Structures are given as structure tokens and as C-alpha cells.
Amino acid sequence: MARYRAVLDTSFGDITLSFTPDQAPMHVRNFLRLAQAGVYDGMSFHRVVKGFVIQSGHLPTRTTPLGETQQKYVRQMKAEFNDQVHEKGTLSMARLADPDSASASFFIVTAKAEALDGKYSAFGKVESGIDVVEKIEAVAVNGETPVERVELRKVTVVRR
């Protein structure tokens, strides 16, 4: 799984992600399956917190509903807390209060966030496109919601 990359085609440019399957193999596998099934296509970055995270993968932000085949890939997963540090560019799974509630929503850390270490399942990092992450982080927000939609048009899985 380390040989795969994911390219996030956003309305601000491309972000390329690499993965750390040695840290969180189930989360890497889950993200790759969701991406290959097109689950992330047509979503938005629905949460932007300056100096903290940009977040996507929230199913209600899709421009079209999930198909029946896509729905079967979305499921909750057990946490894979690890020693990967949550610093600028870290890719991690979002969740509810229950540590085992992560499913599709993910975030990219925009600054060191030690409070997340060991409490969220980090499973990769930004390999290129950190400038795009910074552009998304800089959008105008109402609370934590971008004023204008920040598109996640498509996620493409590529082999190294």
C-alpha cells in the first residue's frame, strides 16, 4: 500500500498524498477503496480551521448521492492510534467522540497539533501540494464552514 499515492483534484489545485500502512493499514486500505470507488468525488472541504485542519469526506457534501455499490464501502473502523506525529501535512481520519467511529471523513493538519497525537488515526501525509492546502486554509469561513464551496472534484489512486 505504500506504493500507492492519491491525487486530490480540488478547485484550488492538486494535492498528492502518500500513505503510512505500517502505522495504520486498515485506514490506508479504507481510504484507497473509497477513492477507487469514487466515494470522495464531488465532495467539498466542508471544514476549515485556520492553524489546525482542512477536512473533507463528509458524505452529505457530495454533489450526487452515493450509488448502491459505493455505499457498501462506507463503514466504521476500529481506531489505529499510532506514533505518527500530527504536524503540518499529516493525513488523518476524522471521527466522532467514539474512537472507533471513523469512516470516510479525513483531515489534513495545517500546523503542529500535538493534542491529536495518539488520539486520531494518522495514515499518511501530503507529498506535494502543501501550497494548495495553504490556499484552502486561507478561504473565508463562517465559523468553520467555507463561505464558498471548496470542491474535491476527484480522488485518483496512482501507483508509484
Residue 101 Cα distances to 6, 31, 80, 107, 153, angstroms: 23, 14, 11, 15, 25
* pLDDT at residue 152 in the model: 98
Residue 38 resides in a domain: yes
Residue 74 resides in a domain: no
Query: Rounded mean pLDDT of the chain?
Result: 95
- Give percent of the chain with pLDDT exceeding 70: 99
Give me the number of domains the chain comprises.
1
* pLDDT at residue 26 in the model: 96
> 91 falls in which pLDDT band (50, 70, 90)?
very high
Contacts of 88 (CB under 8 A, 6+ apart): 109, 110, 111, 112, 130
Contacts of 26 (CB under 8 A, 6+ apart): 77, 78, 80
* pLDDT at residue 59 in the model: 86
Residue 153 resides in a domain: yes
Q: Is the alpha carbon torsion for 42, 45, 104, 82 positive or negative?
A: positive
Question: Collapsing DSSP states into helix, strand and coil, what is residue 18?
Answer: strand
**CATH number of the domain residue 143 falls in:** 2.40.100.10
Residue 125 resides in a domain: yes
Residue 80 Cα distances to 4, 14, 24, 42, 56, angstroms: 19, 27, 6, 27, 19
Name residue 48's amino acid. V
Say how far apart CA 113 and CA 14 lie, in whole Å. Answer: 24
Contacts of 14 (CB under 8 A, 6+ apart): 7, 8, 128, 129, 132
Strands (E), the chain: 4-10, 13-19, 43-49, 53-56, 90-93, 106-109, 122-128, 141-142, 145-146, 151-159
Q: Tell me which residue range forms the domain holding 51.
A: 4-68+82-159
Question: Collapsing DSSP states into helix, strand and coil, what is residue 119?
Answer: coil
Residue 76 resides in a domain: no
Judged against a pLDDT cut of 70, whether residue 53 lies above it is answered with yes
Residue 77 resides in a domain: no
Residue 47 resides in a domain: yes
* pLDDT at residue 60 in the model: 86
Residue 93 resides in a domain: yes
